[in-house]
């Protein structure tokens, strides 16, 4: 699958035709030539993924071409084929960058083996390139000792074993991505690629190409063919993060992939088949998006085969002390600060806060506090900088205790709204800065504002370099 275009450089007609035929049967796009000059010409005009290169050619040595290929920025996997093999020449070719070496006559089976090796290698290289740009969170575990988290871990173990599509729902910062990674790590596909795409972060006009790839010249700027994330994830798992954010065209195409496991690249007409396990996350109520006709119902059903809900931190307060201690250790190490412990008022502040940003907020608060704390000191409430209008009353109220005046008691969504407006005010209505302050994506912020404004123009401006793929005012 990762290999498409193959060039065969071979002057022996019979060998060339046989090779060509076998490659075409496997649906590769084959160019075949019989001289070095023709080979050089084709290599200048086209990008190939694999070459079969004969050594003795009418106008020179294939090994010279092999050496010059190594100087190109984009390496071409080259299999040397020769009728005059020796251990020395094989070693020489491998030293000069050949991928493999075959002595003529070779069997169809030998070619199959080489192709399989080349496919696996190319896929690995591509996945590695992708992973090297990935985030630093990848190694972390899903922490928490509350019964809720225990149940969640049990569910993850059970579901991980299957191939079922999973939809993870929960507020921002609750750990949905960690749940997805845990599903992957405990699955039979743990050794295969894990490819993530954040649907909210990719501009709407590029998302289709990110999902499915594109052919050279598919659109302005598509200078070369590019594999999409589904192709990279072949044999492994794909995480579709913030799935609620994809437009209806891509929703339709995604439905087809989920049903048929096939698609075409943008600008291409070849149908590609993939074997991927799909995990999606969303911090919006997808059922409501379906009701509002913003999200296809059939796609929702296809994604929601196994639903997993990650509860907000305020619904598992027992986890706060454990998480706080773990983060204290992690950030103490990271910043080289030795913190002796956490003072009682600081513990109270931590356990009473209502954590609208969930574990992510707790993690950030502890990191900042560690930085502000002096070496060998104790974390104090002042280090936390918790200024949200979170209800001291709500957090500290024992369950079931009668409140003095229930009507004056603000709802969670009301508090969230007030907090968002406070952040915007502090950032002079700059939505990018406010989103950063609140630790949510610009898109999440925009959606919330759209909700408050009932679909009207949202408050706030975008910061430099931020794209806003949907016009403000689209009901969120």
Ligand X SMILES: Nc1ncnc2c1ncn2[C@@H]1O[C@H](COP(=O)(O)OP(=O)(O)OP(=O)(O)O)[C@@H](O)[C@H]1O
Cβ atoms of 101 and 80 within 8 Å: the answer is yes
Which is closer to ligand X, CB of 31 or CB of 450?
450
Q: Does 31 bind ligand X (CB under 6 A)?
A: no
Task: Tell me the C-alpha distance between 312 and 314, whole Å.
Answer: 6
Q: Does 174 bind ligand X (CB under 6 A)?
A: yes
Determine the interface stretch with ligand X among 74-82, 165-173, 265-273, 344-352 (rule: CB under 6 A). 165-173
Q: Does 34 bind ligand X (CB under 6 A)?
A: no
φ and ψ at residue 463, rounded to 5 degrees = -80, 175
Kindly give, in sequence order, each residue whose CB lies less than 8 Å from that of residue 445, ignoring residues fewer than 6 positions away. 420, 431, 434, 435, 438, 460
Q: Does 237 bind ligand X (CB under 6 A)?
A: no
Minimum distance, C-beta of residue 264 to ligand X, in the bound complex (Å): 30
Q: Does 172 bind ligand X (CB under 6 A)?
A: yes
The binder of ligand X chosen from 283, 388, 447, 450 (CB under 6 A)? 283
Q: Residue 97: which of 122, 118, 77, 126 has the closest Cα? A: 77
Q: Where are the beta strands (DSSP E) in 317-467?
A: 341-342, 378-379
Residue facing Mg ion at closest CB distance: 177
The binder of ligand X chosen from 9, 43, 62, 176 (CB under 6 A)? 176
Q: Does 177 bind ligand X (CB under 6 A)?
A: yes
Minimum distance, C-beta of residue 172 to Mg ion, in the bound complex (Å): 7
Binding partner of 412, given Mg ion, ligand X, none, CB within 5-8 angstroms per partner class: none
Which is closer to ligand X, CB of 32 or CB of 281?
281
Q: Residue 396: which of 358, 353, 458 has the closest Cα? A: 353
End-to-end CA distance of the chain: 38
Q: Does 177 bind Mg ion (CB under 5 A)?
A: yes
Kindly give, in sequence order, each residue whose CB lies less than 8 Å from that of residue 384, ignoring residues fewer than 6 positions away. 346, 349, 350, 365, 368, 369
The binder of ligand X chosen from 2, 62, 173, 193 (CB under 6 A)? 173
Task: Tell me the C-alpha distance between 26 and 59, whole Å.
Answer: 30
Determine the interface stretch with Mg ion among 21-29, 175-183, 427-435, 461-469 (rule: CB under 5 A). 175-183
Q: Does 356 bind ligand X (CB under 6 A)?
A: no
> Which of the 8 DSSP states describes residue 398?
P
Task: Tell me the C-alpha distance between 20 and 138, whole Å.
Answer: 43
Binding site for ligand X (CB under 6 A): 137, 140, 142-144, 170, 172-178, 281, 283, 359-360, 363
Binding site for Mg ion (CB under 5 A): 177
């Amino acid at each position: 699958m990762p290999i498409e275009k193959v060039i065969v450089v071979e002057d022996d007609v019979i060998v060339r035709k046989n090779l060509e035929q076998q490659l075409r049967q496997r649906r590769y796009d084959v160019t075949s030539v019989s001289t070095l000059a023709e080979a050089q010409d084709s290599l200048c005009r086209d990008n190939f993924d694999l070459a079969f290169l004969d050594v003795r050619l009418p106008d020179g040595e294939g090994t010279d071409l092999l050496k010059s290929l190594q100087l190109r920025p984009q390496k071409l996997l080259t299999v040397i084929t020769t009728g005059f093999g020796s251990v020395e020449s094989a070693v020489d070719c491998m030293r000069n960058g050949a991928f493999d070496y075959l002595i003529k006559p070779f069997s169809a089976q030998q070619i199959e083996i080489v192709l399989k090796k080349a496919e696996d290698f190319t896929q690995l290289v591509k996945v590695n390139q992708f992973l090297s740009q990935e985030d630093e969170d990848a190694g972390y575990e899903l922490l928490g000792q509350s019964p809720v988290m225990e149940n969640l871990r049990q569910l993850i173990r059970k579901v991980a074993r299957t191939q079922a599509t999973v939809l993870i729902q929960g507020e921002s910062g609750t750990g949905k991505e960690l749940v997805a990674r845990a599903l992957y790590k405990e699955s039979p596909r743990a050794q295969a690629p894990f490819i993530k795409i954040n649907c909210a972060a990719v501009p709407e006009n590029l998302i289709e190409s990110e999902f499915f790839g594109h052919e050279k010249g598919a659109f302005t700027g598509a200078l070369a063919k590019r594999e999409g994330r589904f192709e990279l994830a072949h044999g492994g798992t794909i995480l579709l993060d913030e799935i609620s954010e994809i437009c209806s065209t891509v929703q339709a195409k995604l439905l087809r992939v989920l049903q048929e496991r096939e698609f075409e690249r943008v600008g291409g007409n070849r149908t590609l088949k993939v074997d991927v396990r799909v995990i999606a996350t969303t911090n919006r109520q997808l059922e409501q998006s379906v009701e509002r006709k913003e999200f296809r119902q059939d796609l929702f059903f296809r994604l929601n085969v196994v639903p997993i809900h990650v509860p907000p931190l305020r619904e598992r307060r027992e986890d706060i002390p454990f998480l706080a201690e773990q983060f204290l250790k992690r950030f103490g190490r990271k910043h080289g600060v030795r913190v002796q412990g956490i003072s009682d008022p600081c513990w109270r502040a931590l356990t009473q806060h209502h954590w609208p940003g969930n574990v992510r907020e707790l993690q950030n608060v502890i990191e900042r506090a560690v930085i502000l704390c002096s070496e060998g000191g104790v974390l104090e409430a002042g280090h936390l900088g918790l200024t949200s209008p979170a209800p001291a009353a709500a957090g500290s109220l024992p369950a079931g205790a009668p409140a003095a005046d229930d009507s004056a008691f603000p709802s969670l969504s009301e508090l969230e709204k007030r907090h968002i407006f406070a952040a915007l005010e502090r950032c002079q209505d700059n939505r990018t800065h406010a989103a950063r302050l609140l630790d949510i994506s610009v898109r999440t912020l925009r959606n919330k504002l759209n909700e408050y404004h009932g679909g009207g123009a949202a408050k706030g401006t975008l910061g430099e370099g931020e794209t806003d793929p949907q016009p403000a005012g689209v009901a969120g």
